[in-house]
Homo-oligomer: A and B are copies of this chain.
Amino acid sequence: MKYSVRILDIATRSGILLNYLDARNIGVLDGDRVQLINPKNSLAVTAVVTTTSTLEGQGTAGVYRGTNRRLNLTEGEEIEIREADRPASLDFIKKKMDGGRLTKEETLTIIKDVVNDEISAAELTAFITASYINPLDMEEVEHLTRAMVETGERIKFASRPIVDKHSIGGVPGNKISLLVVPIIAASGLKIPKTSSRAITGAGGTADLMEVLANVEFSAREVQEMTEKVGGTIVWGGATNIAPADDRIILQEYPFKIDARGQMLASVMAKKYAVGANLVVIDIPVGSHTKVPTVQEGRKLAREFIELGERLGMKVECALTYGDIPVGYSIGPNLEVREALRVLEGATEPNSFIQKSVSLAGIALEMSGKAARGTGAQMAQDILSSGKALEKFRQIIEIQGGDPKVKSEDILPGEHQFVVNAPASGYIVEMNNVSLITLARLAGAPHDRGAGILLHAKKGTLIKAGEPLFTIYAEREWRLQKAVEEGRHLVPVLVEGMLLDRVPSQSEV
């Protein structure tokens, strides 16, 4: 039967909205599937049905934007709708629920249906939950990685090596890509870096780079820019590289899970799809990160290396200290300012510089540019010489930003609140999770100027009344919220501090 189309623009939703009488007539219930056919060009997709008794009259059909991507319908055009079979993906997901192992073909079928929005968010969540409880083995992870690559755009460079770098995350202020990418590119290697925006963090690398330049480019543009200047720092979400991954992450988000198999596949699919064959993985280890112990970090490292071997990629991992923030800044503008200062010649903060040159050094050694044991020094030399700054400016320029930008141009939010040490003593703990929460309360990452600037780090002796950190915000109410709700977060702990005061019964 034919229906008149209305386009429904709702993010992260897909499928078709039908009047319940039309649905009954077609023979489907809410959650069933129909085949949608564009009679103009014979494009056909399967879509999950939702029903309404008022929003669509009989004879009209609301097609969600995500579903229309592959149909190319415009408002008012005609569409043909038929009952569709239940997708085989659901049986494969059920197999995983029942503890089975998925074949290459089964995995590809699921991931194709994910990318084409032919299975619902709830059905995808069942797959994620099943794979979290019944973990994927390394062969299944390889299948998943390849399926993620095959269902998205790919970049093929004419020559190798192609370097890439990834940080597992969980550490605030981890702005090292802003140094690593220009250092690598300045050495003559190619590094087409795609990054994420923060979902639970205070600023992903893409959020940071967006302070300086555009970050939304197609895979083809990433390739061209990398050919020209040696590197990019773009948002992966815009490239359509491994698009299944974004959908998986969105469904993992409510439960704060990061199923091992999906995580390995997610990272490596993006590296594989951009053509990288030399990959450095930064695994921050610490009690408030995703990897609490060195033992677990080593295990994860071995898994990355094995998956790399299966895919024909050379992988090295660096276990890094992740118990406290990298550098002194958290939040887009503050972090970008800190990175620019180092590129401009600042020799502090040491933690940030050392981590960046160490990771860049590993890639330089893997590529043969530097001999074993000399990579970090070569990276430091590139940084100190100003070549990394020059390269970073080329990258900013090719991504449409202002290459003349200076660190002093980048300002934090105008509203600020200084938190002073309530007692004298050593700073004995910094809580990554609390620091990120505080930065987010202040508005990061959406408000680029929001964030936290630390004035001292773990191990420092501080006197009562001296500043511990400053909270910055672009909006007054955001600052207030961060200050009020932040009182109980204790992001920085000074040895002599009272953690709580319990009054005697009589005083209550």
Instruction: Mark A residues whose CB is within 8 Å of B.
Output: 8-13, 17, 20, 24, 27, 29-31, 50-55, 86, 90, 93-94, 97, 99, 120-126, 128-130, 132-134, 199, 250-251, 253-257, 440, 443, 446, 478
CA distance A222 to B348 in the complex (A): 76
- Contact assessment for B257 and A11 in the assembled complex, using a CB-CB cutoff below 8 Å: no
In angstroms, how far is the closest chain B Cβ from the Cβ of A500?
Answer: 22
Q: Are A255 and B126 in contact (CB under 8 A)?
A: yes
A123 surroundings in chain B (CB, below 8 A): 125, 254-255
Question: Is there an interface contact between A31 and B130, defined as CB atoms closer than 8 Å?
Answer: no
Taking CB atoms, residues of chain B closer than 8 Å to A50 are 10-13
> Of the candidates B11, B31, B55, which one forms a contact with A10 in the assembled complex, judged by CB atoms under 8 Å apart?
B55
A257 touches B51 (CB 8 A): no
Chain B residues in 8 Å Cβ range of A51: 10-12
Q: Is the CB of B27 within 8 A of A12?
A: no
8 further interface pairs, Cβ-Cβ under 8 Å (given A11-B53, A30-B250): A10-B50, A12-B51, A27-B446, A29-B199, A97-B132, A97-B257, A126-B128, A126-B254
- Contacting pair A250 B97 (CB below 8 A): no
A123 and B253 alpha carbons, distance in the complex (Å) = 10
- Give the complex CA separation of A9 and B134 in angstroms: 38
Q: Which of B11, B17, B90 is in CB contact (< 8 Å) with A254? A: B90
The distance from the CB of A396 to the nearest CB of chain B, in whole angstroms, is 25
Known A12-B50, A129-B130; contact A255-B31, beta-carbon cutoff 8 A? no
In the complex, which residue of chain B has the Cβ closest to the Cβ of A128? B126
The smallest C-beta distance from A152 to any residue of chain B, in angstroms, reads 20
Residues of B close to A122: CB separation below 8 A? 120-122, 124-125, 251, 254
Q: Which residue of B lies closest to A199 (CB)?
A: B29
Q: Which residue of chain B is the closest to A121 with respect to CB atoms?
A: B122
Residue of B nearest to A255 (CB): B94
Q: Is A9's CB under 8 angstroms from B52's CB? A: yes
Give A49 Cβ to nearest chain B Cβ, in Å: 10
Q: Determine the chain B residues whose CB is within 8 A of the CB of A120 once the complex forms.
A: 121-122, 254
Cα–Cα distance between A11 and B62 once the two chains are bound (Å)? 14
Closest to A198 in B: B29
Please state if A9 and B129 are interface contacts (CB–CB under 8 Å).
no
Q: How far is the CB of A322 from chain B (nearest CB, A)?
A: 22
Contact A97 B129 (CB under 8 A): yes
